[in-house]
């Protein structure tokens, strides 16, 4: 799939290639955004949060659904990522 997209990308006019390259390399849409990550597996939470923090996001982690709801009442998040099988509540 990447190879096909790469070939199509190469066929685009230079201006369109420049726009797509700038979008791909930009993290501006993530910078300063507040994310609530609801995840009971701390290895997964750590790995994902490190990537998102490097891209400028403010990451809050909740270890279960109830803690996630508690944080949601206190903070206005821009995005919420959650595991669908959680202790205490799914």
How confident is the model over 4-42, as pLDDT tens digits? 445 577 788 888 888 778 777 766 778 899 999 999 999
pLDDT value of position 6: 53
Per-residue model confidence as pLDDT tens digits over 62-72: 999 999 999 99
Q: Are 79 and 38 in contact (CB under 8 A)?
A: no
Question: Whole-prediction pTM value?
Answer: 0.68
Q: How far is it, in rounded angstroms, from Cα 65 to Cα 39?
A: 8
Which one-letter DSSP state was computed for residue 75?
Answer: S
């Amino acid at each position: 799939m990447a190879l096909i997209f790469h070939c199509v990308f190469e066929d685009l006019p230079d201006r369109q290639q420049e726009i797509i390259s700038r979008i791909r390399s930009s993290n501006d849409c993530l910078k300063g955004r507040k994310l609530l990550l609801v995840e009971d597996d701390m290895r997964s939470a750590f790995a994902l949060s490190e990537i998102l923090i490097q891209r400028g996001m403010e990451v809050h982690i909740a270890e279960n659904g109830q803690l996630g709801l508690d944080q949601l009442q206190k903070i206005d998040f821009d995005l919420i990522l959650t595991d669908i099988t959680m202790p205490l509540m799914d």
